[in-house]
Amino acid sequence: MSKKRIVYSTDPSWKKGEESSVEKAPEGDGIVRLHRQTKGRNGKPVTLVKGLPLIGADLKAVAKELKNQCGVGGSIEGSDILIQGDKRDTIKPLLEAKGYTVKLAGG
């Protein structure tokens, strides 16, 4: 996802250097959902962690901890964490110990 940078604008309220790059935590219903997904991945499952109310370094820290506890790789896509393999049963108690309400979703 590339962010558009305004070079010139005829809008009188726009001022150079005042781009809205402030990240906000995604709003949701307060439930973290663990999805199992294989579509577009040659049949290999991944676990998607959606609904975490975290951004930036906090999200990276949680992703790193989950990857270490599961012993697998993963990445961050937007505000979601991807963990390689179907690790929902491993991730659920880890997130519940952090105080999140967790539900298993998807096949």
- Tens of pLDDT along 10-31? 777 766 555 555 556 556 677 8
Look at 105 and 16; give whichever has higher pLDDT. Answer: 105
Residue 79 pLDDT class (50, 70, 90 cuts): confident
Average pLDDT over residues 73-88: 90
End-to-end CA distance of the chain: 27
On average, the pLDDT of the chain sits at 82
Domains of the chain are 31-105 (3.30.780.10)
> What is the spatial distance between Cα 81 and Cα 76, in angstroms, rounded to a whole number?
5
Give the mean pLDDT of 40-58. Answer: 87
